[in-house]
Amino acid sequence: MPNPNVDDYLQQGIHGAKEIKPEERKKFLGTIRERVEFALTQSQVRENKVYQEIQAACKKNNKVHMYLNGHVDYRYLSKYVKLAGSNNIEYTIVTNKDYNSELGLVLAYDHAIDKEDIYINEKIKPVLPKPKKTEKKDSSLFLKKHLKNREESLFMKSAVGDGDRSRDPPLFFWDT
């Protein structure tokens, strides 16, 4: 690389320092893909449990660095912060104002490891059928019968009445 000149200094001052793979760094919370051991999505981090793969990796090697997405609420991140503290692992909470990564946690080294499968698959939760709402047949039959009797009695009153409908009770009412 040639010696930097005044133009290089000006460009760096205007645009910031040159970065290798900036889009990849945004996605992987400040590191690059070739250094990543494991990655969890934000929804996986929000689960109540700590993934066993993450625990095992933290216990196996304390040279790993934990990157946590700052857009995720701290109550979900705290279990991983405690895990990092108990295993003497450095961690960083990364908040990028311009980009919110879909990843919630990244375990990475300071050198390339080129691991093929870095994502921990979410276990598919079985979809339980919703129980059907059972109607109380006794109460609905009672209600229908009661309304029918009420309508019949009102019809009889209006047919036999004196013609003044202002004193007639309303046709529909609800007893409490």
Reported pTM: 0.64
Residue 13 lies in a domain: no
127-160 as b/e: b if 16+ CB within 10 A: eeeeeeeeeeeeeeeeeeeeeeeeeeebeeeeee
One domain for residues 98 and 30: yes
pLDDT > 90: what percent of the chain?
56
Kindly report the CATH number assigned to the domain that includes residue 26: 3.30.1330.30
Of 2-11, 93-102, 127-136, 142-151, the range with the lowest mean pLDDT is 127-136
Residue 4 lies in a domain: no
One domain for residues 73 and 152: no
One domain for residues 26 and 99: yes
| 46 or 163, higher pLDDT | 46
Which pLDDT does position 139 carry in this prediction?
Answer: 56
- Give the Cα-Cα-Cα angle 35, 124, 130 (nearest 5 degrees): 150
pLDDT band at 54 (very low <50, low <70, confident <90, very high): very high
pLDDT by residue (tens digit) across 29-42?
A: 999 999 999 999 99
One domain for residues 103 and 142: no
